[in-house]
Structure 1
Amino acid sequence: MTTEHDRALLFQEVQQFRQRWLWALLLGINGVVIAVTLYSVFGSSPDPSPVWVLLLVVGVACLNTVLFALMKLKAEVSEDGILIHYFPLKRREIARDRIRSCKALTYRPLRDYGGWGIRRGWSSVAYTVQGDRGVWVELTSGRPVLIGSQRPEALAEAIASLLPPS
């Protein structure tokens, strides 16, 4: 595929984890972990654990939160094919000649994939951030890919425009 600056985009969508319940859960878990660590280091019967354990736990909790805040799913369709970039974890390019078909659909994130993120189902891999809508892309290899989208019909239309007329 060519560089991002050389190709004309037919579709682009960027999604981030912005669900309030998810952030409340993440921050709540981090808060509990930090509180338990503080108590074990400085509590009434302190564990002999050194203070560096506290620093490590707080650092990991902060890093986890920052990583989660930076994470985003970018789906692009150009004349070359599909780019799925799950920043900063994964970048996947699917050349147009590897695409057999596609369709917009509603899926069950928890039941089908165990939640959102980069997930492996029984027969496919999913790249999702939120919601229950996406585009099922059948590859010539037979291994399908689900791309979560807030605009699945537009994404499917852009991908379908890459396919040869049938």
Structure 2
Amino acid sequence: MPGRGGRRLFTIILICLVILVSATLVAFSPLALELWKNSPANWNWLSEVGQTYGAASALLAMFALVGVAVSLVLQAREAKSAREQTLRSLHGELMRMAMEDPLYRACWGAFFTSDDPDAQRAHMYVNQIVNHWLTMWELRSITEPHLREVAQTVLAGRTGGSTGARSGSSG
């Protein structure tokens, strides 16, 4: 969804710009007050004005705290995504090893009840295709109508149809 990423980037840029402008205004406001008052520096008056910045300081601290919280949430999501990707890679590698060697294929037990090694390998390959679709769906890189179309094509075939009816999804 390119529009969604563009809006997110725009929102981030806008928030950073608001924070930067706010910080700049806070930093230069004593100078502006002196120009506005148009008299020599009255430090007592300026210190009283400075005390009013307590609320602004609290507000800026809150923005910083929210920024840290958002950052932690994004890091947690990224870590979860990395763990899921690692698990999928491991599953794919285990399936590849089983597809290449009947000894490893036997380790999967009852998932592969056919005596035909080619049918077993075909079942594993369809499993890999379904896992690929799952990844695409979770990343929102495939729409539901497109997924239904490709699934109907693959699962309508001799290998796909017999695989789905026999044991369901194995991963």
Do both share a fold (TM > 0.5)?
Answer: no
Structure number having the greater helix percentage: 2
Bigger radius of gyration, 1 or 2? 2
**TM-score with structure 1 length normalisation?**
0.29
**TM-score with structure 2 length normalisation?**
0.28
Structure number having the greater strand percentage: 1
